[in-house]
Chain A
Amino acid sequence: MQERIQTTQVDAGIAKADVRGAAKEVSMKVLFAVAAALFVLAVLTICLYLLADAVPTIGKIGFVKFFTDERWLIRSERFGIGSLVVGTALSTAGALLVGVPVGLMTATFMSFYCPKWLYRAIKPLTNILAGIPSIVYGFFGLTVIVPLSREMFGGGGMNLFTTSLVLGIMILPTVISISENSLRAVPKSFYEGALALGATKERAIFRTVFPAASSGVLTAIILGMGRAIGETAAITLICGNIDNIPASLAEPFITLASAIASGMGYASTTNLERPALIAVAAVLLIIILLITTVVMLLKKKKY
């Protein structure tokens, strides 16, 4: 474009460029709007498709049965998601128990204690951890943690302990990077003010900076929770996939996501088997939507 302007008369050139520029601006606006519309359409289609498929299926299974039947046996057409929901909740709680303390302490270390050279090494590490495909975590769990857990508890080693540990590691990068960012977003003056008033470093961090960054830290935890709830590939390998409500850390269990993944290979489309899996997916989607909403509400705060 610049070359053209130089070769034509300057005034005319500017006028032309203005017209062209305006046309370009409008066309780009349309392009972006279309892209945004496509994205919204994709989200809406997924939600509508799942719900439109799931609601009649749950009706056919029986609303009460869907939520209260104790067994999840696809082939016997027993579609009780109770053990799936409890399994998801327990493994998520376990993951938070492992991932949140370690993650928050790591974030604190990285933003307040860590020397610069070490920070330059740790920061990329959290990014790498975030980028590892989940099936790799699953394989790691299967070959390293499962035998360890078998040694500790007996049984098959595929249980709540194993899954919580692996999931806890998986949510670390989310917890670390988001809480570190929010800790750094708190104005230095808060921290310095606390020190000036005679607080120790620890007191300043935990009593002043952390409360100021609480919404960011909560967001980190909830996003970690979201990842743990939806995690599929890794969990399917290491949870045992048994429709059992675990009474101890050493018992196998099943989650919403792993039930879908392990059932999909065989589920028949001619009866309720496949539709029931879609209904489970819809339940999972609703849970994740709720969590996303909570995160959006939290985001209204400052840090």
Chain B
Amino acid sequence: MKKIFMAIASGLLAVGIGVAAVGCSGAGDISVYNRESGSGTRDAFLELLGIDEAELNTGVAQLASTSAVITGVAGDKKAIGYASLGSVDSTVKALSVDGVAPTEETVADGTYKIARPFELMYDETKLAQNDLLDAFIAYLKSADAQQVIAEEGYVSVVSDATSYAVPTEAFTVTEIEASGSTSVGPLMTMLADKFETMVKEANGQDVSITVSGGGSGQGIADANSGKTEIGMASKEVKKGTDVTNENVTILQLCADGIAVIVNKANPATDIALDNLKKIYTDNALNWSDIGVEFSEE
């Protein structure tokens, strides 16, 4: 028995030493931090950089939360990561991208590159018959909804919003549906839940706002055809080219900005979008390859 033990133990030891000896492969010195597959922030980041998930440099860690990425980057000198703009704190440094600093203003006006608008599309002519749709759109434009949006880490684009009050009369329409982008979906679901609760508290009525997926393309198609009351898209939507139905109005719900974060010891303040894409696809890249020299090891 003992011999078998010894054999197993020494075998394991040999494997362990072998594995250790093979040692470092050709990886560069950039510690690349990602979110896990399935994260909305990761989906948005990859989409905006035009990187396919399968070619992504998975880097040193794929962490399950924004705060884990920030903690990781804060403790790792050679790190780079990304996080929703609203959640970045002072323990890390957010880089400018192509010379534009990530702020609420640059995200809202679209000059910051790693950002995208969340657009809603609805048929203007239907508002008169559909009082629930009318009320929900009014709620989405209100300060109440914009506060929820800001709390979720998105950038509000409505400047002079007022607070919202549910109409005293009961709604004649009790069910509407929003479909499209799965990135907008979670935020929309949250806003719909809050709105449903507000209506329930105000006049005791049960209304239902269903949020379904399908992607931005589906959202645009559904808005054009009138299949669902609200179409959702997580990219810029243009009247005429995307929205062919001339009754459909486009409303920007908010903007989603993603900050590129590095360790505070990193001397860089700006990164070119091309270099960022290189970092996230090429795992052999070093900081010096993109012109960032660390002063002391």
Contacts and interface: CB of A to CB of B under 8 A. Distances in A.
Contacts, number: 116
A120 interface: no
Interface string B16-42: 100110111101010101001111101
A78 B54 contact: yes
A241 B61 contact: yes
A147 B12 contact: no
B245 interface: no
Given A78-B54, A248-B20, A155 B60 contact: yes
B62 A242 contact: yes
Given A155-B31, A249-B19, A270 B213 contact: yes
A154 B30 CA distance: 10
B19 A74 contact: no
Most buried by A among B20, B53, B59, B61: B61
A242 B58 CA distance: 7
Contact of A156 (B12, B15, B72): B72
Contact of B38 (A244, A250, A252, A266): A266
B75 interface: yes
Given A100-B9, A158-B60, A241-B62, A76 B23 contact: no
A286 interface: no
Contacts of A247: 19, 22, 25
B165 interface: no
B interface secondary structure, majority:
mixed
Interface in B40-73: 40, 42-43, 52-54, 58-64, 68, 72
Contacts of A154: 24, 29, 78
Kindly state the interface size class of chain B when it binds its partner.
35 or more
B2 A211 contact: yes
Contacts of A73: 37, 53-54
A97 B16 contact: yes
A74 to B, nearest CB: 4
A149 to B, nearest CB: 11
A216 to B, nearest CB: 11
A98 to B, nearest CB: 10
Contacts of B144: none
Contacts of A210: 2
B45 to A, nearest CB: 12
A94 B16 contact: yes
Given A100-B9, A248-B19, A252-B60, A266 B36 contact: yes
Interface string A85-106: 0000010011011001100000
A243 interface: yes
Given A75-B43, A248-B23, A250-B24, A93 B16 contact: yes
The 8 residue pairs across chains A and B that have the minimum distance between CB atoms: A156-B60, A266-B38, A240-B61, A214-B1, A74-B37, A262-B64, A76-B53, A241-B62
23 contacts: A75-B37, A75-B43, A76-B53, A97-B12, A97-B16, A146-B75, A150-B75, A155-B27, A155-B60, A156-B60, A158-B61, A210-B2, A214-B1, A241-B62, A246-B19, A247-B19, A248-B23, A249-B19, A249-B20, A250-B24, A262-B62, A266-B36, A266-B39
Given A72-B37, A249-B20, 9 more contacts: A154-B78, A218-B1, A237-B68, A242-B58, A242-B60, A248-B23, A250-B23, A266-B36, A268-B182
